[in-house]
Structure 1
Amino acid sequence: MNVLDHSHLTRAADFMRRSARLIDRHRFALHFRGGPAGPVLQALRAYENPDGGYGHALEPDLRGEGSQPVATQHALQFLHEAGADDDPAVTRTGDYLASITRADGGVPFVLPTVRDTPHAPWW
């Protein structure tokens, strides 16, 4: 079994510092450096849309600005990781998800509007 040692974490941290998006650098600091949650939440706000959903390439394979359910799912994960389950963004996100929920109670991974924006072929 392979074991990660300090040099692996150091190399990962260097890669994150050089290559990762701001939100991912803050999440790395939160999880592996004991960093504060505030910077994660502040960076996440840049991806939120007025409808309470998230877009703007929060899900990197969806490059459009508009809200998409899968990006909103990631936002909820990031909010939870930051200990912000009571943040007002959670309520706004819930309202957004309720607005796109199908009659059968399901929520699609992506909305048809994804076709109008740059995206990976599997979407």
Structure 2
Amino acid sequence: MKKLSKTLFNQLNSYMNKKARPLESAIFNYYFNDSSGDDILDSLEEFQNSDGGFGRGIEPDFKLIQSSPMATSIGLKYLSMLDNSNRGQNMIARAVEYLETTFDSNRNGWYSVPSNVNEYPHAPWWEFRNDINMTVIDYSWGNPTAELIGYLYKYKEYLNNLDIYSLISYAIANLNERTEFNSEHEIFCYIR
């Protein structure tokens, strides 16, 4: 197995601490420099909005300030690494509340981003299209819905309204009915 040389690691370490966003720098330090994880929580607090959801550019491909289910899935991905702390649990509880509030019963899940994503810098695939009333990402039901259902199951003690077992059954049925996926990102959402 190839290993990273100490010199190359030191260069990478320097780069991550000087050039990366504080969030990615904190994650790097957590895994490679024995950081406690408090820096990750500090960074995540900057991305969590008062409604409990995440936004503020946590997903670098769209700079939407307001919360979105997609950005919240990213926040929860990082929080799940630190869910053994009270601070992390409080942030998770707030995110779960946001997800319950924004659940779309007609979709039996969430659309990735709201239409006002178009008011902020974003990659073309995040463009909200009025002709289909969603982004092209939303053709893939499981992105981010399947991943969000997984987090809701893991943190079901914070649920007040959603029936997590019904959502799991729906996600499994959706997965079992598929013969192909148009996006690998949807598969990743089922795996996570």
Letter in 2 for 1:100: T
1:90 equivalent in structure 2:
92
Deviation at 1:39, TM superposition (A): 1.4
2:166 equivalent in structure 1:
none
Deviation at 1:101, TM superposition (A): 1.5
2:71 equivalent in structure 1:
71
Letter in 2 for 1:107: W
Distance across 2 between alignment mates of 1:119 and 1:85: 33
1:24-64 deviations in Å (ceiling 9; x for gaps):
11111101111111111112111111111111111111112
**Deviates most, 102-111 or 15-24:** 102-111
Change (3 A) 1:105 1:85: farther
Q: Unaligned stretches of 5+ in structure 2?
A: 127-192
TM-score (norm 1): 0.88
Letter in 1 for 2:103: T
**Deviates most, 56-65 or 85-94:** 85-94
Q: Unaligned stretches of 5+ in structure 1?
A: none
Secondary structure at 1:46's aligned position in 2?
A: helix
Q: Which has the larger radius of gyration?
A: 2
Letter in 2 for 1:38: D
Is the aligned partner of 1:119 residue 2:122? yes
How many residues of Structure 1 are paired with residues of Structure 2 in the alignment? Answer: 123
Amino-acid identity (%): 28
1:110 equivalent in structure 2:
113
Letter in 2 for 1:9: F
Letter in 1 for 2:22: L
Deviation at 1:2, TM superposition (A): 4.8
Change (3 A) 1:117 1:84: farther
Distance across 2 between alignment mates of 1:50 and 1:27: 23
Change (3 A) 1:105 1:77: same
Q: Which has the higher helix share?
A: 2
1:55 touches 1:71 (CA, 8 Å); kept in 2?
yes
TM-score (norm 2): 0.58
Secondary structure at 2:92's aligned position in 1?
A: helix
1:54 touches 1:67 (CA, 8 Å); kept in 2?
yes
Paired residues for 1:1-123 under 5 Å: 2-84=2-84, 87-103=89-105, 104-123=107-126
